[in-house]
Structure 1
Amino acid sequence: MNGNYIAVDWGSTHLRAWLYRDGQCVDSLQQPCGVSRLAEQTVRQVFDRYVEPWRKEHAIPVVMAGMIGSDAGWQPVPYLACPFSLYQLSAQLCEVAENVWIVPGLKTAQNVMRGEETQLLGAMHLAPAGCYVMPGTHSKWVQVDNGVVREFATAMTGELHYLLMNHSLIGKGLPEQRANDDAVQAGLQRGLDSPSLVSRLFEARALRLLGEIPAESVSDWLSGLLIGAEVAALSREFAINNVTLVGSESLCSRYRQVLAQAGITADEIAGDAAFQQGIRSILDARR
């Protein structure tokens, strides 16, 4: 294949895509048209509206990853069982239209991922590591050995934060939330010291009522608590002393703080850079 292609990260909430010409990114887009937000549109209609115009008269290759391969997406693409070598992803693509492919996700006996496998492949090329931590709505901790994903765990940290702030007593009646680094740090330490969340979550409300944290800082304190608990639990489960973070700078910064407090060193790579490198590596392997 030549250097003309389209990389698509199509998740639950957003469609993101990058157009490459001669190996260089020349255009990108982001639309709130994830597979859970299609409204009255079909997946194909959204694709034809936003992605197809980039192809023009030439059906240049499109490689998509994420929830687009789920039963809510274009079509269900089976998970690949772990242990699995990420170097074999290129041979497992599912073609859903002419020169349009979906990358399959990975599974273990008790876990699944979609989209992260592509980021992992890219991260392996850009920042080789034995353990990757991928913060987000559903954070992933992944062990990789010579390109083989052997085991991974999922923490619903981001989703739990959203639910508690929007649909529980913790977030009820709060004023507009504002950034507060001290609240984040206090929450991180609390979660790291006491990761049993069942007995700690209510503190987010009690400490606010008792004046220990400002009402506009509950979100940051709770975020810290959840991230701290995640790191405390999964760093012990994976028995690691070094990780590579893959994600946005703002979210990774909170993980860097608590990892350092736990005595774990952390490298970092941007999630978008890892994803785009992953797509590039898949296409390179098909040449």
Structure 2
Amino acid sequence: MTASYIALDWGSTNLRAFLYQQGECTAQVRSERGITRLEGTTPQQVFNDIIAPWQSLKLPVIMAGMIGSNAGWVDVPYLPAPVSLDALGQHLFPVSAALPAKAWIVPGICINRADNCNVMRGEETQLLGALHDSPASLYLMPGTHSKWVETDGSQIRDFRTAMTGELHHLLMSHSLLGKGLPAQQSAGDVFHQGLSTGFSQPDITGRLFEVRAAHVLNRLDKSAVSDWLSGLLIGSEVAQMLRLFGHQQSVTIIGNPQLTERYAQALSLAGVRWQAFDGDQAFQSGIRRIVNAMGD
């Protein structure tokens, strides 16, 4: 395929589009029109709007993320793990609707075993880039649904998902823990205290109500409840996942700096070395490799 193309990272809540000309990213667009925020429009209408400024270039489009889910544009079949990420470019799913450009969707990856049922969409593209630019045996991809991914060379061997980000949102917004609280403020020391508690006692079900009791009894500032809960949940997640994947000397965190920093604190607490790899860089590197594979 030509070195000129359009790449879309299309998730549940956000959409990012990148224009590549002769291998260089020359423009990008960010939108909040993820597949859960289409506001009455169809994916095809959003697609047409997003690429409209570049439509005259008549470039092929590669899309990754939740746009390929059963809640997206086309329900693209998963590739079963273990799977080589280098093969992604040979399994793209063509979008057959009438479009102003040829378009394909990158397939997600699944695990379907008695001891582990898991799926990912979008992360596989970032992982492809990270595996070649920052090789590691264990990757952590923090977010609403954090992914922990075990690799071997270019192959995904196993992965797990932790709903830590969503749990934090649900507990703060729709449970007794968040009722009657003032605006939340950043409190790094409180976050670290929660982190230590969650890491040392990862089975936190019996301690969640204490988040409320602590501020009712004036042992926790009401404006720092969010950071305490965040630390508690992240500490628990890291302890459980490190136990699940066995002893790890090093973990590579893929994502934005804010979340990377929080998980880096947890890994440091666990005595595990870590390195960060930017999520945008990982995605763009992965898409470039997928495009190159299409041209083979």
Shorter-chain TM-score: what band?
over 0.9
The one of 266, 272, 275 aligned to 1:264 = 272
Q: Which runs of 5+ in 1 are unaligned?
A: none
CA distance in 1, matches of 2:49, 2:124: 27
Q: Deviations over 1:129-161 (max 9, x none)?
A: 001000000000000101111110000000000
* Structure 1 counterpart SS, 2:262: helix
Runs of 4+ aligned residues of structure 1 deviating over 2 Å after TM superposition are none
1:9-48 to 2 correspondences below 5 Å: 9-48=9-48
Q: Write the letter of the residue equivalent to 1:127.
A: S
The TM-score normalised by the length of structure 1 is: 0.97
Give the C-alpha shift of residue 59 in structure 1: 2.2
CA-to-aligned-CA distance 1:15-66 (integer Å, 9 cap, x gap): 111111121111111111111111210100011111243131x321211111
Q: TM-score, normalised to structure 2's length?
A: 0.94
Question: How many pairs align?
Answer: 286
CA positional deviation for 1:183? 1.1
Match of 2:284 in 1: 276
Distance in 1 between the 2:218 and 2:45 partners? 52
Secondary structure in structure 1 of the residue aligned to 2:39: coil
Instruction: Specify the alignment match of 1:51 in structure 2.
Output: 51
* 1:62 partner amino acid: V
Q: Deviations over 1:203-261 (max 9, x none)?
A: 21111112222111100111111100000000010012211000011111111111011
Separation in structure 1 between the aligned mates of residue 167 and residue 110 of structure 2, nearest angstrom? 22
Give the match for residue 129 of structure 1: 136
Which stretches in structure 2 are left out of the alignment for 5+ residues? Answer: none
Identity among equivalent positions (%) equals 52
Partner of 1:249: 257
User: How do residues 129-278 of structure 1 correspond to structure 2 at under 5 angstroms?
Assistant: 129-239=136-246, 240-278=248-286
Q: Distance in 1 between the 2:198 and 2:55 partners?
A: 48
Alpha-carbon separation, structure 2, partners of 1:123 and 1:52: 30
Q: CA RMSD in A?
A: 1.0
The residue matched to 2:95 in structure 1 has which SS? strand
